[in-house]
Every structure is written in structure tokens, then in C-alpha cells.
Amino acid sequence: MQVSKTGVKTKCEMPMCKREAVYQFCLDNGDKRNSLNLCENCVKELYGQIGKILTPKSPKNMLNKKGVGVIDER
Ligand SMILES: [Zn+2]
């Protein structure tokens, strides 16, 4: 996956988002014309949401090892 700035004025491709796209996501073997264009706001939102799905365990484990994590203890 490659990320670059769109370089041209184009609309964010997130449904219902009408901002101007800033970033362009494209598979390594992909065609730049078939990229996913997203605005900065949606990229930030996605980053936060993806973080919830993909890294729920490792940060907690790291905290627990240090004895700082009390997230799961009730
Ligand atoms: Zn957007």
C-alpha cells in the first residue's frame, strides 16, 4: 500500500463526505488512477477506528507487564 498526496483537486471518496481529498491510497501494484482518495479528516477518523479494531491487545499487554495497566481489572 502506498500513500501520497493527491496533488490534484478531487473529492474525498468516503460516502457522504464532501471535503477535498488530500491523501491518495493505492496498492503497490495498483494503478494511481484506481486509488482511494480521502480527506485529512477521514484519514484521521479511520486511523482512530482502525486502531480500535487492530491493536486492542498489544498496548494493554505492554501496560500490564509494566504493572501500570488497570484497564481490564475491576
Ligand atoms: Zn472525507
Count of beta carbons in the 10 Å neighbourhood of residue 17: 15
Better pLDDT: 74 or 15: 15
37 has a pLDDT exceeding 70: yes
- 28 lies in a domain? yes
- 71 lies in a domain? no
| Distance in Å, CA 20 to ligand 1 centroid | 7
Whole-prediction pTM value?
Answer: 0.67
| Distance in Å, CA 16 to ligand 1 centroid | 8
In angstroms, the CA 27 to CA 6 distance is 14
Tally the domains of the chain: 1
Q: Strand order of the sheet with strand 2-5?
A: 2-5, 23-26, 36-38
35 has a pLDDT exceeding 80: yes
- 74 lies in a domain? no
Q: Check residue 31 and give its pLDDT.
A: 76
Judge contact between 26 and 52, C-beta under 8 A: no
| Distance in Å, CA 6 to ligand 1 centroid | 13
- 49 lies in a domain? yes
| Distance in Å, CA 30 to ligand 1 centroid | 21
Query: Which residues span the domain enclosing 50?
Result: 2-66
